[in-house]
Chain A
Amino acid sequence: MSEKKPRIRVRGLTKIFGDEQHVALPLLQAGKNRDEVQKATGAVIGLQDVTFDVDEGEILVVMGLSGSGKSTCLRCINRLIEPTAGSVHIDDTDVTALGERDLMELRRTRFGMVFQQFALFPHRTIQRNVEYGLEVQGVPPAARRDKAMAAIETVGLKGWDQHFPSQLSGGMQQRAGLARALALDPDVLLMDEAFSALDPLIRRDMQQELVALQKRLKKTIVFVSHDLDEAIALGGRIVLMKDGRVVQQGTAADFLADPADEYVRRFVEHIDVLGVVTAGDAMRPPVAVRPWQSSADEALAILTQSGEPVVTVVCEMGRFQGTVDADTLRRAGATELRLLLSDRDACVPRSATLNEAVARLASGRGEIAVTGPDGELFGVIANADLIAALARRRVETAH
């Protein structure tokens, strides 16, 4: 996708819990499955051969149900859990090969972590909580106070810095948790079910704010979640895990369009299709297109032949200009199309979700254009196309 080198590379990560891991690992590598190994050795397989990349500046959601190994996977990245085999690289540093001291240094400078149950220190004020990472780095008090205050302001907790965690609501506590991670200005944020303990409404706000924050601060975020809607709201790639293995990675739309197996299919079954499928997925090539200097008569002929509700008008550069419907064309005779244009905004970008397309279609004349970044015409979606796209997903997910 991007030419940049990935910020984090996870390769063949395997975690076996229990004392028998050195017996269990060869069995696993010899191709025995999780249950067989567990029966033979008593060791529990937490992760098995997990491989993925995280690009710089992206939000990667590691998703799965409880027990799928997603949290274990996250903790292996900064080695809060020691992986049994495999490697984790952040840029050119092999995290899995670091000694204790170097690992400590790496955690202090490169990683910020946010926890499901917030894990704020109850005996410290919000300010002192947010300062914590800087404090262990040995940053002098004045400097760390400034940075902490800046982070507190970033997450919208200004004025609460002298309060204790127990005096804050859940949502505010997690803002403080986020501020504590941001204060270090780390490259990577590790977020473990960070919003799962919050009320649905607050959760949605926090998701939106995180996306906005990430656009501004360009952090690389690995976000663990069990909630597909959350993964979609965060809008990035998803690594779907089951029983300690990666089942599929890609965007939610990829999962819908081409599920790797029955499990993925069932996982995305109840997904809100309108929020995931893009206009680019649902569009078809335009049939009734005319440049804007052609006459209405000419356009009417094409329109009648095509059976489209409107003719789509483009300029010399191929950019979308607007639409003209059949009635107008009939009345206009030889007039140039450019003088007849209406519905100049009957278009959506290719990356827009069907939700936006539906809204446009509802206020237009039965067809909208799908455009690229410079307004160039890529395709069209008519009411029937939308219904067909939805029906296609339903059919796919029903089988």
Chain B
Amino acid sequence: MEFDIPHIPLAEWCDIALDWATEHFSGVTRAMSAVVGTAIETTTDFLVGLPPWLVIIACGLLVWRLTTWRIALGTVLGFAFLWNLELWRATLQSLVLVLVSTAFALAIGIPIGIAAALSKRFWRVVGPGLDMMQTMPSFVYLIPAIPFFGLGAVSACFATIVFAMPPTIRLTALGIMQTPPELVEAADAFGSSRWQKLFKIQLPLAIPTIMAGVNQTIMLALSMVVIAAMIGAGGLGGEVWRAIQRLEAGQGFQAGIAIVVLAVILDRITQHIARHMRRDRQQG
């Protein structure tokens, strides 16, 4: 049976939309790219320029202040291990990319999450959008990133932000919407305005949930930064990518294990902070 059904030119439409956007906005995005790219490179170069032991000890002290001596010790040992594998530069590149992407994702995601929690209509629009952002294969984001931001770190950063932002939006909205109704009622009964209610009651109570979102965002950012090596982001992902191209299994696993170590460090730190905040809320 043959029917001559015209196929829907979805790919063409996407191209048209992207071409249009590229034509009109790429000037701006290229300029942004130059600025952000320089910032990322400068930071990375600065950190790479410092003696590794100094950076490791500084990180250890910072983590110790934020969390416990156990996690700080783990961080120091982990970083020392990565240095020993001669992956220090790649580690720093990945770390800077993760942190910059996460910062952007939070700066954009938290306000969107708040807005989604406050307006049911907005939530109905955002919800499916988030589903799409999360189910879309992450590689796809890399393609349009290139015409806007060119090859390299900034494109990686952009794709990472899009990919890693959903949990922050979702959990921020969830945290606010889950404020116990009797507390919202109490706030209303005392004549709170919408913003007072938000900043004095809902947001503080949502912080543990939001931190769970931050933790997930950081984890997703790390996984995306690795994938973004395909468009020249470098870092630990770049090591894996090179190993694939040369079929060097050993090198590949070494870089892979390095990524796991970095992931564990980031996860422990953010989880501990999130847990600590939850305890804070109960007891101070």
Chain A interfacial positions (CB closer than 8 Å to B): 78, 80, 104-109, 111, 113, 115, 117, 119-123, 125, 132-133, 135-137, 164, 166-167, 180, 184, 190
| B190–A123 touching, CB < 8 Å | no
- Sample of 19 more A-B contacts, CB < 8 Å, known A113-B186, A119-B183, A123-B204: A104-B191, A104-B193, A107-B189, A107-B191, A108-B191, A109-B191, A113-B189, A115-B182, A119-B185, A119-B186, A120-B186, A121-B201, A121-B205, A123-B205, A123-B281, A135-B200, A136-B190, A166-B283, A180-B190
**Contact A113:B190 (CB < 8 A) given known A136-B196, A166-B282:** yes
Neighbouring B residues of A120 by C-beta, 8 Å: 186
| CB-contact partner of A167 in B190, B192, B281, B283, under 8 A | B283
- Find out whether the CB atom of A122 lies under 8 angstroms from the CB atom of B189: no
Q: A115-B182, A119-B182 are in contact. Are A80 and B205 (CB under 8 A)?
A: no
Within 8 Å CB of A107, what residues of B?
188-191
Q: Please determine whether A80 and B189 come into contact, CB atoms closer than 8 angstroms.
A: yes
**Nearest 9 Cβ contacts at the A-B interface:** A108-B191, A107-B191, A119-B186, A113-B189, A133-B190, A119-B182, A104-B191, A123-B204, A136-B192
Instruction: Tell me whether B284 is interfacial, beta carbon within 8 Å.
Output: yes
B5 CB, min distance to chain A CBs, angstroms:
43
Contact at B282–A122, with CB atoms within 8 Å? yes
The answer to whether B186 touches A106, judged by C-beta atoms less than 8 angstroms apart, is no
Of A111, A135, A167, which is within 8 A of B189 by CB?
A111
Q: How far is the CB of A82 from chain B (nearest CB, A)?
A: 12
Q: Please give, as numbers and ranges, the residues of chain A lying within 8 Å of B196 by CB-CB distance.
A: 136
* B283 and chain A: residue at smallest CB distance: A164
Inter-chain CA distance A184–B190, complex, in Å, is 9
Contact B191 A105 (CB under 8 A): yes
How many B residues touch the partner, as a band? 20 to 34
Inside 8 A of A136's CB, which chain B residues have their CB? 190-193, 196, 200
Q: Chain B residues with Cβ under 8 A from A123's Cβ?
A: 204-205, 280-281
List of A residues within 8 angstroms of B280 by Cβ: 123
- Residue pairs across A and B with Cβ atoms less than 8 A apart, 22 shown, are A80-B185, A80-B189, A104-B191, A104-B192, A108-B191, A113-B186, A113-B190, A115-B185, A119-B180, A119-B185, A120-B186, A121-B200, A121-B201, A123-B280, A132-B187, A136-B192, A136-B193, A136-B196, A137-B191, A164-B283, A164-B284, A167-B283
**Complex interface: chain A residues within 8 A of B283 (CB):** 164, 166-167
How many angstroms from the CA of A78 to the CA of B225 in the assembled complex? 53
Whether A80 contacts B284 by the Cβ 8 Å rule is no
Q: Tell me if A132 and B190 are in contact (CB < 8 A).
A: yes
Q: In the complex, which residues of chain B have a beta carbon less than 8 angstroms from the beta carbon of A184? A: 190
B248-284: contact bitstring with A at CB < 8 Å (1 yes, 0 no)? 0000000000000000000000000000000011111
Q: Which residues of A contact B281 (CB under 8 A)?
A: 122-123
Instruction: Evaluate whether A164 and B191 lie within 8 angstroms (CB atoms) in the complex, with A115-B182, A119-B185 already known.
Output: no
Query: Would you give the shortest CB distance from B245 to chain A, in whole angstroms?
Result: 52
Give every chain B residue within 8 A of A80 (Cβ-Cβ).
Answer: 185, 188-189
Within 8 Å CB of B284, what residues of A? 125, 164
A133 touches B191 (CB 8 A): yes
How far is B205's CA from A164's CA once the two chains are assembled, in angstroms?
14
Contact with A78, one of B180, B189, B193 (Cβ below 8 angstroms):
B189
Instruction: Choose one: B187, B191, B193, B200; the contact of A106 (CB below 8 Å).
Output: B191
Q: Which residue of B lies closest to A113 (CB)?
A: B189
Report B-chain residues with C-beta under 8 Å of the C-beta of A121: 183, 186, 200-201, 205
CA distance A113 to B205 in the complex (A): 21
The answer to whether A122 and B191 touch (CB under 8 A), given A135-B200, A136-B196, A164-B284, is no
Instruction: Assess A132 versus B200: contact at CB under 8 Å? Given A115-B182, A119-B182.
Output: yes
Query: Who on chain A is nearest to B204 by CB?
Result: A123
A119: chain B residues at CB < 8 Å are 180, 182-183, 185-186
Chain B's nearest CB lies how many Å from the CB of A123? 5
| Min CB–CB distance B182 → chain A (angstroms) | 4
Bound form: Cα–Cα A18–B204 in Å: 32
Closest to B280 in A: A123
In the complex, A105→B193 CA distance in Å? 10
State which residues 158-184 of B face A: CB under 8 Å: 180, 182-183
Give A270 Cβ to nearest chain B Cβ, in Å.
31
